Structure formats: C-alpha cells, structure tokens
Structure 1
Amino acid sequence: MALMPPALRPACWALWAALRTGDDLIDSTDGDATERAARLSRWTDALEADLRRGTSDDPVRLAVVDTVLRWGLDPEGIFSSFDTVREDAAGRRLETWAEWSSWVRSTNMSWAEQCRTLLDRAGVAMPLRWEQIEGFSRFLDGMYLTDTLVDLPTDLERGDLLVPMAELARFDVAPDDVLGRRWTPELRALVGELTARARGWLDQPGLTAGLHPVPAILLRTTTGLFHARLRAVERSGAALLRRTPRVSAVAQWRVLAPARARAAVAWRLVPISAPPPAAGALTGASAEARPGSGRGGSDGHSGTDGHGGTAGRPGGARPVLPPKPHPSGARPPLIDADRMPGHVAVIADGNGRWATERGLPRHEGHRAGAAALRDIVHGALEIGLGHLTVYAFSTENWRRPAGEVSELFRTMCAELAEDELFDHDVRLCWAGRPDNLPTELVEVLEHRQRTTQDRSGLTFTLCVNYGGRAELADAAGELARAAVAGEIAPAQVSEHLFARHLPRPQLPDVDLLWRTGGDHRISNFLPWQSSYAELHFTDEYWPQVDRRDLWRAVTAYTARQRRLGAAPTTEPEPAEQH
C-alpha cells in the first residue's frame, strides 16, 4: 500500500478491508460455522444492496461502494472471494497442491487483480505477456504459502491445518502431531521444505520485464518483504507452532525505506489524481446478480453489460486510441447506419490448410490467422460495427492433434496478453466453457473481460471451447430446473424466456454470418442467434483475409433485402465504396 500512489491508496485499502471483513466474520470464534456463514451472507447481501443504492451506512461498505463506482470496477471478483471464504466456515481440508493453489487463488486473486485494474485505470498498466502469466500466479502462490506458514499458530488455535495432506504424508508427518503442536524432526523437515518452496515461487525476476518503474519496484519490494518473513519463520523453530513469527521494524525499514523513496520519485514523474465521486449507483448485470446464484450466466463468466467508456476517465487514464489505418491506405466504405449490420459473426476457417499448402506446421497457420484477426478488428472499428463474434475454438476442435491444440492456446494467450488490440475501444467477451482449457488462458480471458468491460465501442466476443448445441442444452437445463423448483410453469416457456437463459443472454441476434475457407455450413456456431442471419461464404483461407474482406462482406449485406417473413419491399442500393 505504501508504494501505491496516494490517489490509489484509499481504493486499495477499501478493497482490502472488505476482504478482511469477510475473513474476520468467518474466523470469529463467536457462534458455530452456520452462524458465522450466515453473518457473512448478511454482510455481503448488504454490500450488494449498497452498490445498487450508491451509498452505505457502514464505513467499510461505503468505502467499497465509492471505490467500485469511482473507478468503474467490477465487484464480481469481490463476491467470488466471499463465496470461497463462506465455504471455509466449516473448515477446509486440502489434499494436493493443485487444490491448495486453486483455493488460495479463488480467495486472494481478486484483490491483486483489482489493484492491477486500478493501476491500469490510472494509466499505469501492468500488462502480462503469455509467458509471464504462470509466473505471476506462482508469485502470488509464494505470497500465500508464506502467509500459511506465518499464520500457522493462529490457524492451529482454530483447529485448521491448511497444508496439503499429500505433503504431510510425503514427510511422514501426522496431522494430529501438528494440531497437537508437537515439534518433531519430520515436521521440522516439512517446514524447511515449505519455506524453500515459498522462496522459489517468490523469485520470479522475469515479471518486472517491461513494467512501469513503480509496479516493478512494488514487485521487487514485496519479494524482499516476504523473504524477510520466511527468514523469521526459519528462526522460530518449535515456537512457530505457538507464536506468530515477526519481522523486526529494522528489517522492514531496510526494505521499505529505499523502495518508498524510489516510488515517490517515480510517481512525481507520472502524477495521478483520483476521479471525482461517481453519482448514482451500480447498474447492469453485476448489480442484478446475487452471490452464489450463478452470476454472469451458466458459463461462469461475469457478463457485465455496463458501458461507461474509459477514454474520458479522470486521473490520467490511458486514452483509448483510434483504429490503425490499413497499410495500403484503403479507406472503409460509407454505410448508412440503418443498413449497417448490428452483429457480424465469423467462422475463421482455413488456418491449418493455409499452412499445410505452404509446407509449414499447422500452428503457423494459427499465428498468421491471429494477425488477420487483429486487422479485422481494426476494420470493424473503422466502420462502427457494434458486435463482432469470432469462432476461435469449438468443442469439436479437441479432436485435433494435441500438439496443434496446445500451440493454438499458446497463440491465443500471447495475443490476449498483448495490449495492441485493447489500447483501442474494444470490449472483450468470452463465450464458452472453461472445462479443460489451460489455466493461464482462462485467467487472461477473464482479466481482459474485467478490464475492458466499460468500453463502449466494438464488443468483440471470442468463442473459445464453444458449442452451439451445448449452449442450447444448458439453457434447457436451466429452464427445467426452474420448472421443477416451481419458479416457472411449462406453459410460460417462450422464445424470449429461453433466450434469457442462454449463457450469453446479452449477445444480440446475428445479422451477418461470414465463413472463410470454402465450406458452406455453420458448424454448430451460434445456432440460436443465427436463425435469421444472412450467410456469406468466401473461398479464401482465414490468414489470407483482412479488413477489406470484412468491408466487402458488409457491403454485400447492405444489398440484401431483410424481409424476416414480411412481404418484399424496394431493393436497397449497395453502400458506396471508395
């Protein structure tokens, strides 16, 4: 906190206080597990109501409301952390490191991500390249493993043992020995191993590459402080089971004092001021969602619909850049607003065949296809398209060779981690399921959703691990559960009600569906939304197209007569091309 710019510290403290409040309510010794969970639910319900009202009579919740509204944050991550903490009321037993890592990230990742978002909104981005994402996650794991060791005596008082059972078994440590605070040679060896593991996870020097000076200082200083905490753990010996290890004020000063001086100089070079208090209350999907009720649709993503536009946000936020012109100097067609398709969906087919015909590995086709997609997005921005949805990876694509799939995901991660597209007025949405996707890909997709949710230009929906029939089955399942619960009667089911239960209910109907690569089918892509779409097929492989092909497709669309079941009218004239 001390290294953050003064304008951001109140927001960071507000978010931290909210998460600590949830922790304290669950960790309290007052009442049984059910009573503690109920108190947390009441507090989070009150926070949700306060966000809708735009104010609160509770000081911590008031600070959170002000922070969320002032900086345009998505509170979804905060509520998700509360959900995880609520589950801890009855205690938690973690079997493996994978379970441990998933638990600490779901509990604590929100705060780190919100702080990164605050820095980004203030114009000091902390972009993570694909190869850094796992390192950043491991760095956070190192912080929380250090916390686990430091908090060991406090946890033991409550009867909690938050070290993976598999690790205890590996060192032949009986859980009852730890809970009984018996310092055995085996337990000493286990603590030594955990300390070394935490130190290794903290040491991620590659994370500071290319960062703004202050975030780099922040990461290095955090590493230094947590190393000091680990040294205090090592010095404690058997006392670790009964007394919280402390870092001396002198040791803290040696790390913090020079870092504060360097950070102060850096912030003077990049002055930051907080936005003024936001009027009104939180609106959109995040305000309507309830904790624990499947916020954001059945695919588990936020689905927030708020549009605020970060381009004019006070506080020195990085401006949204205009689209880049085409290298040839080609200019977009002039299209009347009433003839412009509202939603263009694209099946970007032919990457692998393009590469094979050139004697290249298939994954090189995916790299070339990513470059084509960037140009298409710029072209969509130039003509003022509202929605662009691209089929990037279908549920059927898992049948492809594992090596090709792995390289495709690497390419996606690298593209999403770059700021090239997201410096422009692009709002990213993800349609699909997280099942079996690499953790780093899910994290970068969710990160881009959160950090671009206020953009008001092009809504760019990326369909990754998406299947149209699965989407319809999910909606049918939701309606069936509602009917069994007595929430709706079967006779009430309508097209409108069905559409509201789709994982992405805010995705509009497709006006124009374009497929490259020579095939003439929709391949399980947006079957509900494409019921009345105009179809446009081209023979070129996806890496061969650019924005001019998008413009030609849209221009062809303007010449079609959209009757939607009505009688024919006068044929429209095509858009002017220049």
Structure 2
Amino acid sequence: MRPSSQPTPADRDAAPRARRGRFPARSRTGEDPALRAAYRLCRRTTRRHDPAIHALVQLMPAVLRPAGWALWAAANAVDDLADGPDADAAGRAARVAAWTEAFRGDLAAGTSTDPVRHALVDTALRWRLDLSGLRGAMAATRDDTRGRHFADWAEWRAWCTEEIAPWVDQVRHLFEQAGAPMTPRLDRQHDYRRFIDGAQLTDVLTDLGADLAEGRLLLPREALDACPGAEDALRQGRWSPAAAALVGTVTDLARRWVTRPALTRGMHPGAATVLDTSARLLRAQLDAVDAAGPALLERAPRPSLPTRVRILAPARLRARLAWSLTPLTVPAAPPAPPVPRRTPATARAPEPAAEDTALRTPPPHPEGARPPRIAADRMPAHVAIIMDGNGRWAEQRGLPRSAGHRAGNVAAREMVYGALEIGLRHLTLYAFSTENWQRDTEEIAAVLEATRRELDEGPVRDLDVRQRWSGNPGKLPEELVRSLLREERRTRARTGLTLTVCLNYGGRDEITRTAAALARAARAGDVDPDLIGEDDFARHLPHPDMPDVDLLWRTGDEQRTSNFLPWQATYAELYFTPGHWPDADRRDLWQAITAYGRRRRRHGAAPLVSPRKPAVPTRPE
C-alpha cells in the first residue's frame, strides 16, 4: 500500500468527484476537510480490507457510497478491536465497550475526533438513520471475545441475526431514504434472512484458518457432530478426511442459503443489481473455499481476478444504467450540533442522543394499584390475549364501533404497563384476524389506522419493550407493514417485555405457511423428510423463539380460541372473563396471572396429589 503522503489515483480525483455528490460537499458551516478526510479513510479501509465489499459499494448510487464506506469501516473497526491478538479477552471486550460508549457520546454531540466515528455520525444525521440497533450488534461483538459456542444451527442463526443483520439493515435504510428501496417483497423475508445467514457462513469459512489460530471455531455442535473427528483435526491444524467432509458440507449449505433467485423479484433494478451481484460474489468465494483444500487452514482464499471481473463488469453497467434513470432523494446537510460549553475536566460526558437515553418506566396505575407478588414457579412466561368486545362496548354506549377500537388501544397499553410491572416476559395480543376482513370497511380502516398511529406515536415506544408482529402481510397496507417491520428492527435489542401483535393473523394460515417453508427446506436438502419432528416444524414458524403460551385469556364473554396460536397454545391454560376489552386494565392482567398461579399444570401426567379447589380470585387493588 502506498504511504499516506503519496495519494492514490482515487484520492487525487476526490475533489471533482465530491462536486458530483460522492462526498458530502459541505458540512454544517461550510467546507469540512476533517469530514471529507474521514470519509476518504473509510473508503480506503474498505478497499484494503475487503475488495468485494468495496466493489459492492461502488454499485450503489454515488450519493450513498460515502455512507456505505462509513458503515463498513465502523463494523470493521469494532471487529478489529474484538479480534486483536495484542490483548486478552477481557481487554478486547473493554476496548469494544469503550468504542461503543464513545460512539454514544459522539452521536449526542453530532461529531467525533475519531475519523471513522465522525463519518458514521454524519451518515446517521444526514440520512436520518436510527442506529440504536447497532448497539446490540456492538454488544454481541464484545461478547464474541469470550468465545462463542452454538448447540445447533438455530443458535448460530440467532447469533447472526444479533450481530450481522443490524449492519445490513442500515444499508437497507439508506436505500429507502434515497427513494430506491432494497426491502425484499413481504413474502420473501425468510429468503432475506437466509441470505444474510449464508453471507455470514461464507465469512466464517473464509476466515476459518485465522479463527482457528485464535482458538475459535464458529460452527455449531450440530454440524461438528455430523462429521466425527473433524473438530479435533481442525483444532490441531490438520486437514483430515473428516475435516474436508465438514467443510464441504457447510460450504454446500452456505451456497444454498445465498442462492435465492426470487429474493430481488419486484425490487428496484439498481438495488436488485447490488443484491444479485453480492450473491454471485459469495458463490465465487465459496468456490474458492472448495478449491483451497488444506490451504484453507493457512490463508483466506479469494476468487481469481478474471472471476471477479466476469461478475463485476456487467453489474457496473447495469447499476450505472439503473441509477441514471432513477431520481434519488438527497437529504440536506444535517443540522449543526450545539456548541459545547467550556467545562472543567471533571465535568460529566455529554448526555446521549434521544434514542440512547434510558428507557422510561411505565406510568403508575391511576388508583395507585400495585402488582401482586407471584412466586417464580407460578409465573407464566407467556400470556396471550384475545381482545374481544370492542365493537359491542361502543354499541352499548351509542358510539361507532371505531370508538371501541380506539378505547381498546388504551386497554392494550394498560396490559403492557401491567406486564412490565409484574415482570412478564412475553405478551401476545390478538389485534386483527384473517377472518376480520369480513367486517365493515370503515371499521377495518379504523383498526388498521389506530394500529399504525400506535406504532408511530404510542407511549409504548419508549418503554423496555421489544415489539414484534405476527401475521400474513397479504392485504395489509404496505405502509403499515413497513411500520411494523421498522419497530421490530428498532427495538430488537431490548431485553424487557417481548410484545407480539398478531395482525392479519390466523393460526391455520400460520401452520400452512410453516408447512410450505418446511417443504422448501426439505426440497433444498436442509432437512430429511423422513426424520421431520415437532422441533423441525417449530424452527420454521415465523417466530421460532416464541415460547409456548402458558395462559390464554379471552375477554368479551366468549369461550373459544378463534384460530389463535393453535401450535403455541396447545397446552395453554384457558381463562375467560365476561367484561368487554375496553373495560380491562392492568389489574385484570394481574388477576388472570394470579388465577393461573393457583392451577396445577400436568401436561398429560397424573397429579401426585389432589389439589385443593382454589378460591375465586378477586381483582387486585
């Protein structure tokens, strides 16, 4: 590499390219040489450390390239801190934590003295990115320093989702902000997740030798046990037949995961070119892994130059044509950060940005009610609620049914508050079923609009609540679905209550779609049809980590489960109450949990003793 005093050809023509939009031409108060230098450093870092990523960024529209370099350079900086051989595990973890904490302060200040963080902060402010999800990814990278062990592919994929997906999602957000969405079709979200898994698995295979030298083998026990003797050979640096079989099997799996021809169907052609080219480069990388043989343990293989040219040359032409025909949205320069006051050296660090502030606690009950104390072994892990009676509640008061749904939203907030206060881990609410489309169109519109408004403005946003959505995207307004997915991404790192809203949900529909996903997996060779069990089916559910329902509660004086979570609620305790949903508040949730704690769950086994008949529960005050 040339010394920094000798500019590369790319550096020499940076100024004219900046005028064409490749670099942020102006800062908040004029020319900002430090910011331009920061972006150039990110570009050089990307090109030097990963030419394939650099080539993919070059396929993005010119206005997005600096942001792409900044994101990749930041991810690489955190990885380098976690992987550096010059410190022990505790020291490396401390370095990642310090970098993450410094980034929080930089984001609040709107600038940084560290060039990579300076570029990342500018990217976040300029493109209105919510980087809160990256904190979870950085925390996962910090935890990598302690070593990673995965029992099966499900655990491995969860790690991938936690550590890699947030960075990829930021790139998707960039394309959305520019007006050329990279978001895959709603029915291709599974393909998108598998594609990311395949990209990460390709990276693991490429870096196998370097990881083994540091004592890491980032493959699940499920894969290692399928090739007896492979783990010992690899850890000893030997290329045995078992090791070759393991690498071949995992390489084939990665190739299947990154081969998703329908993923880009219906996507903007420029964004589709980026994803399609990424898939081709990944498959070329896997071919290089296959061809490396024993050399894989000594150095990272790379595709040949002719192979890269054959893939990239036509892709550049397609991308250039697509972006030349696309009017892009270019944001204005971010607002100037507040000028810091001169403070003593002992002054506290700047407060974090709004998205980094501590999550607030739920408001107290208006009458001062407090949750009952429930023993840990009597506490359900997962409560699911059929919120019935909104329309009837409104009709009894001479109001339109839409007013009942608005009142029902207030009751739903109360349940979230009560769940947080009592320490419930999972709460699932049945908001709109696949059968509810038979209702009046005005009522349907009111339900969906109220849901969207809650997502955009509701008080749950600032609580320690991880929000998720379960249901079929078909028929739902695309704007609403994007809001649902946005909140999933934004809150994925939260560790308090997991709130799942079932919207356009039907239990039979979920089972049908899961069966289709399992059939696709069998056709791809991921599962053996003759050995499929309940665990295999559960892993292909939309939310495979959702625990079984312990308590299913329905309001509205109806006693049926109405196609709600049939797989997860097979052994749920059923609890029915006569009141309409808008009349419920958190005390009713506490009462339901108290009643659950008095029951004896046997799951088909005979009771050891005959339980005493529980007293009729009273509403906690």
- Same fold per superposition (TM over 0.5): yes
Change in CA separation of 1:525 and 1:192 when aligned onto 2, cut-off 3 Å: farther
The equivalent residue for 1:136 is 192
Mapping of 1:345-364 within 5 angstroms? Answer: 345=410, 364=434
Mapping of 1:137-152 within 5 angstroms? Answer: 137-152=193-208
Q: Distance in 2 between matches of 1:222 and 1:426?
A: 23
Is the aligned partner of 1:434 residue 2:498?
Answer: yes
Q: Is the 8 A contact 2:411 2:581 kept in 1?
A: no
The equivalent residue for 1:8 is 64
Q: Is the 8 A contact 2:140 2:163 kept in 1?
A: yes
CA RMSD of aligned residues (A): 4.4
The equivalent residue for 1:521 is 580
Q: Distance in 1 between matches of 2:143 and 2:457?
A: 38
Q: Distance in 2 between matches of 1:198 and 1:272?
A: 34
Mapping of 1:374-523 within 5 angstroms? Answer: 375-376=445-446, 412-414=471-473, 419-421=478-480, 433-434=497-498, 520-522=579-581
The equivalent residue for 2:89 is 33
Mapping of 1:54-73 within 5 angstroms? Answer: 54-73=110-129
Is the aligned partner of 1:286 residue 2:350?
Answer: no
In the TM superposition, residue 139 of structure 1 has moved relative to its aligned partner by 0.8
Change in CA separation of 1:129 and 1:526 when aligned onto 2, cut-off 3 Å: farther
Q: Distance in 2 between matches of 1:388 and 1:372?
A: 22
Mapping of 1:558-573 within 5 angstroms? Answer: none
Q: Distance in 2 between matches of 1:40 and 1:225?
A: 30
Is the aligned partner of 1:88 residue 2:172?
Answer: no
Q: Distance in 2 between matches of 1:259 and 1:118?
A: 20
Change in CA separation of 1:24 and 1:374 when aligned onto 2, cut-off 3 Å: farther
Q: Distance in 1 between matches of 2:588 and 2:353?
A: 22
Q: Is the 8 A contact 2:110 2:121 kept in 1?
A: yes
In the TM superposition, residue 95 of structure 1 has moved relative to its aligned partner by 2.0
The equivalent residue for 1:79 is 135
Q: Distance in 2 between matches of 1:437 and 1:522?
A: 16
Match of 2:215 among 136, 139, 159: 159
The one-letter code of the counterpart of 1:29 is P
The equivalent residue for 1:365 is 435
Q: Is the 8 A contact 2:74 2:120 kept in 1?
A: yes
Aligned-residue sequence identity (percent) comes to 36
3-state secondary structure, aligned to 1:434: strand
Provide Cα deviations, 1:252-285, integer angstroms capped at 9, x if missing partner.
Answer: 1110110111011110111325322211459764
Q: Is the 8 A contact 1:344 1:387 kept in 2?
A: no
Q: Distance in 2 between matches of 1:90 and 1:388?
A: 38
Q: Distance in 2 between matches of 1:228 and 1:423?
A: 33
3-state secondary structure, aligned to 1:207: coil
The equivalent residue for 1:219 is 275
The one-letter code of the counterpart of 2:445 is D
Q: Is the 8 A contact 2:230 2:240 kept in 1?
A: no
Q: Is the 8 A contact 1:12 1:115 kept in 2?
A: yes
Residue ranges of structure 1 left out of the alignment (5+ in a row)? 290-294, 299-340, 349-361, 391-408, 442-463, 471-517, 531-578
The equivalent residue for 1:328 is none
Change in CA separation of 1:262 and 1:154 when aligned onto 2, cut-off 3 Å: same
Change in CA separation of 1:248 and 1:69 when aligned onto 2, cut-off 3 Å: same
Q: Distance in 2 between matches of 1:237 and 1:8?
A: 38
Change in CA separation of 1:526 and 1:371 when aligned onto 2, cut-off 3 Å: farther
Provide Cα deviations, 1:334-384, integer angstroms capped at 9, x if missing partner.
Answer: xxxxxxx99963779xxxxxxxxxxxxx96414547976751167669999
Provide Cα deviations, 1:482-524, integer angstroms capped at 9, x if missing partner.
Answer: xxxxxxxxxxxxxxxxxxxxxxxxxxxxxxxxxxxx9643389
The one-letter code of the counterpart of 1:32 is D
Mapping of 1:16-55 within 5 angstroms? Answer: 16-55=72-111
In the TM superposition, residue 166 of structure 1 has moved relative to its aligned partner by 2.0
Is the aligned partner of 1:239 residue 2:308?
Answer: no
The one-letter code of the counterpart of 2:280 is G
Provide Cα deviations, 1:451-473, integer angstroms capped at 9, x if missing partner.
Answer: xxxxxxxxxxxxx99x9x99xxx
Change in CA separation of 1:97 and 1:343 when aligned onto 2, cut-off 3 Å: closer
3-state secondary structure, aligned to 1:270: coil
In the TM superposition, residue 239 of structure 1 has moved relative to its aligned partner by 1.1
3-state secondary structure, aligned to 1:206: coil
Change in CA separation of 1:201 and 1:422 when aligned onto 2, cut-off 3 Å: closer
3-state secondary structure, aligned to 1:208: coil
Q: Is the 8 A contact 1:47 1:61 kept in 2?
A: yes
In the TM superposition, residue 154 of structure 1 has moved relative to its aligned partner by 1.1
Aligned residues: 382
Match of 2:245 among 155, 164, 189: 189
Q: Distance in 2 between matches of 1:56 and 1:172?
A: 50
In the TM superposition, residue 111 of structure 1 has moved relative to its aligned partner by 1.3
The one-letter code of the counterpart of 1:10 is P
The one-letter code of the counterpart of 1:117 is H
Change in CA separation of 1:258 and 1:382 when aligned onto 2, cut-off 3 Å: closer
Change in CA separation of 1:200 and 1:369 when aligned onto 2, cut-off 3 Å: farther
Match of 1:248 among 301, 304, 326: 304
Is the aligned partner of 1:99 residue 2:155?
Answer: yes
Provide Cα deviations, 1:201-232, integer angstroms capped at 9, x if missing partner.
Answer: 11111211111111211121111111100110
TM-score of the superposed pair, with normalisation by structure 1: 0.58
In the TM superposition, residue 59 of structure 1 has moved relative to its aligned partner by 0.4
Q: Is the 8 A contact 1:139 1:203 kept in 2?
A: yes
Provide Cα deviations, 1:401-450, integer angstroms capped at 9, x if missing partner.
Answer: xxxxxxxx997241598524368999968899438999xx9xxxxxxxxx
Change in CA separation of 1:179 and 1:186 when aligned onto 2, cut-off 3 Å: same
In the TM superposition, residue 177 of structure 1 has moved relative to its aligned partner by 1.3
Q: Is the 8 A contact 1:139 1:202 kept in 2?
A: yes
Is the aligned partner of 1:171 residue 2:235?
Answer: no
Q: Distance in 2 between matches of 1:112 and 1:72?
A: 16
Q: Distance in 1 between matches of 2:454 and 2:499?
A: 34
